[in-house]
A and B are shown apart, each in its own frame.
Chain A
Amino acid sequence: MSNIIEIEGLSKRYGDLVALNDLNLTIDQGAVVGFIGPNGAGKTTTMRILTTLLQPSSGTARVAGYDVAQNPDAVRRAIGYMPDFFGVYDDMKVWEYLDFFAACYDIPPATRHGMIDDLLGLVDLGHKKEQYVEGLSRGMKQRLCLARTLTHDPQLLILDEPASGLDPRARIEMRELLRELQNMGKTIFFSSHILSEIADVCTSIAILEAGNLVAHGNIEQIRRQLRANRTIHVRLLGEREPLVNLLQTSPGVVHLQTDDLPADSLRFDFSGDDVALSELIQTAVSHHIPLVSFREEEHDLEDVFLQLTKGVVN
């Protein structure tokens, strides 16, 4: 799979302030990547460099094989950008808004009409085609702006906080839309503060703090990197002593805990892999230990984020 974004040693300084510090990041074609970080971490700066709006202080960034500084027009053809804050024009109808931006991307007038209908259908705004843009709700404007990013059928969508300021329903709609775009084969690189949404939609994440990349990769891989041991919760019928005795002699059991837990429950950290864990369960069953539940503790993205970041802000 080829890389659609290749960032090497990218830095951005504003006087003494280092907004981005030697960022190295690659994103595969077709991936949905969540860009996470506290406010001021450098997410928007990275996105503005990738969208040819900002000059980096040093380093290179390539989008779809084109250097953002050397070949901005080719990069613009390959990307659809939705900034975190954007305005709309007064006195403009929804279809006129899309028609205007399609014209800005050199789409011939003959093909625009059908394309606008398709895009409005995709973002569920077909019924608002003749309405003025200023009269749309915030969620509808966000969806319209997303439709705008698709007028020239770009390979890569760079979305800065696409769900910010939306109510729960609009956020769910936006998430569904991102899934739809993923199914259409688009690469999506988007930032968000809503970590649960990122975990739902993304194939991988990149975590930025104070201009430094602190983690990048599959969410599950990062979780594993963070935790050498997995935490297992067990509930039994009756006494837990037989299982405690078994676990104390079992390899891979690192830290057994019974304090502050009900009499029929216990928790332990396990350093083994899935095979070792399965063998442990089989051993317990063969010792006639009455297991009711045996489950691994899930660590959500919030835990990962809190573990990786220190709350440092530029």
Chain B
Amino acid sequence: MTNLPLKPTLWHTLRQNPVTLKELRSRMRGRRAFVVLTVYLLFMSLFLALIYLAYLTTSGPGGSGARDAGKIMFTAVLGMQIFLVIFIAPAFTASAISGEKERQTYDLLRTTLLSPSAFVLGKLLSALSYVVLLILASVPLQSISFLLGGLSPEELIISQILILVAAVTFALYGLYCSARMKTTLAAIIAAYGGALFVTFGTPLIAVLITLITGAAFITTGTVGWVTEATLTYLGLTLSATNLPATLVLSETILQQENTLLFYTQSIRGHSVWLFSPWPLFILLYALAAWLLYRACVRHVRRISD
């Protein structure tokens, strides 16, 4: 009987990725990584302690004040996680490939047998692993909100899934910029430009659309329920492209409609099915991540003209 070689599992392939191993070894070597993690957690702890002290001085333990304090603490940690995902994840990856070009190590790698997909995946995983480490390290702090009663398990789980999906997409966007640009500076500018547009540009567009359509409604007089329902769907879809908007809106729908997915709302006498934006956010960001990954691999594979 002959022993056929076992096909390596995905986990084995990822664990053996030389780029991931090299990057993680470099990143975690020395004190820098641990100092950053410690300072980050200390800062978060101090911030949460201040919120808790403020709550104690105003209302004492128990009661609805505790729920509010729990909610504020949860929101504060979430805010920090959003910042990490939108601005730190792309910054980590924006230098990943352009840095190799600037360091003149890119050609050395491109003449090896390392496949473009293994290279991109290695860079992505090594950058993400540190961001995910920072996010996961803050989960225990976030869980204090459970003790105060201001947070449900669904809220915590969904928020962390959204944060992780966004982290992958923003990291891949940074990596794409890094593959496209020749210098790290240009890649970082492009990465931050894109991240800022998605974070602040889409709400701005939403506000502009609301103002324009509002003005149009005033001029035309009445608005049909179909138009209003369409605009509501458009607003929900647009909010599903924006992480803070998705988090806020999904939380609001959960609190007001007591649902995680669908609910009905009466629009001008007609009952309309509406949706919580977080599943669409995951779908859109997963799609964007896949497209960005493919584009990155294509760029790395390309032989210079």
User: Are these two chains actual partners, yes or no?
Assistant: yes
Chain A residues with CB under 8 Å of B22's CB are: 89, 92, 96, 100
Stretch at the interface among B105-113, B125-133, B167-175: B105-113
Residue B189 interfacial (CB < 8 Å):
no
Which residues of chain B in 8-28 are interfacial with respect to chain A, using CB atoms and an 8 Å cutoff?
A: 16, 18, 21-22, 25-26
The size bracket of the interface on A is 20 to 34
Contact indicator B304/A55 (Cβ below 8 Å): yes
Q: How many residues of B contact A (CB 8 A)?
A: 22
Q: In the complex, A55→B304 CA distance in Å?
A: 6
Min CB distance, B92 to chain A, in Å? Answer: 16
- Of all chain A residues, the one with the shortest Cβ separation from B115 is A73
Residue A194 interfacial (CB < 8 Å):
no
Q: In the complex, A136→B173 CA distance in Å?
A: 36
Residue A54 interfacial (CB < 8 Å):
yes
Q: In the complex, A88→B106 CA distance in Å?
A: 10
Chain A residues with CB under 8 Å of B16's CB are: 103, 109
Stretch at the interface among A74-82, A118-126, A221-229, A247-255: A74-82
Q: In the complex, A158→B218 CA distance in Å?
A: 74
Residue B30 interfacial (CB < 8 Å):
yes
Contact indicator B108/A55 (Cβ below 8 Å): no
Q: In the complex, A55→B111 CA distance in Å?
A: 14
If A96-B25, A100-B22, A104-B113 touch, whether A54 touches B304 (CB-CB below 8 Å) is yes
Most buried by A among B29, B109, B113: B113
Chain B residues with CB under 8 Å of A54's CB are: 303-304
Residue A298 interfacial (CB < 8 Å):
no
Residue B305 interfacial (CB < 8 Å):
yes
Contact indicator A91/B26 (Cβ below 8 Å): yes
Contact indicator B26/A92 (Cβ below 8 Å): yes
Chain B residues with CB under 8 Å of A105's CB are: 112-113
Q: In the complex, A54→B16 CA distance in Å?
A: 29
Residue B31 interfacial (CB < 8 Å):
no
Residue B103 interfacial (CB < 8 Å):
yes
If A87-B105, A106-B113 touch, whether A100 touches B29 (CB-CB below 8 Å) is no
Pick from B21, B103, B105, B111: contact of A53, CB under 8 Å? B111
Contact indicator A55/B18 (Cβ below 8 Å): no
Residue B230 interfacial (CB < 8 Å):
no
Contact indicator A85/B104 (Cβ below 8 Å): yes
Contact indicator B103/A101 (Cβ below 8 Å): no
Contact indicator B21/A87 (Cβ below 8 Å): no
Residue A259 interfacial (CB < 8 Å):
no
Q: In the complex, A91→B26 CA distance in Å?
A: 5
Min CB distance, B127 to chain A, in Å? Answer: 16
Contact indicator A83/B113 (Cβ below 8 Å): no
- Would you mind naming 22 contact pairs between A and B with Cβ atoms under 8 Å apart? A53-B111, A54-B304, A55-B303, A55-B305, A69-B303, A73-B113, A76-B113, A77-B113, A81-B111, A83-B107, A83-B108, A86-B108, A87-B104, A89-B105, A91-B30, A92-B22, A101-B112, A103-B21, A105-B112, A105-B113, A106-B113, A148-B108
Binding site for A on B (CB under 8 A): 16, 18, 21-22, 25-26, 29-30, 103-105, 107-114, 303-305
Binding site for B on A (CB under 8 A): 48, 51-55, 69, 72-73, 76-77, 79, 81, 83, 85-92, 96, 100-101, 103-106, 109, 145, 148, 152
Known: A53-B110, A89-B26, A105-B112. 7 other contacts (CB 8 A): A54-B303, A69-B303, A73-B113, A86-B108, A103-B16, A103-B21, A104-B113
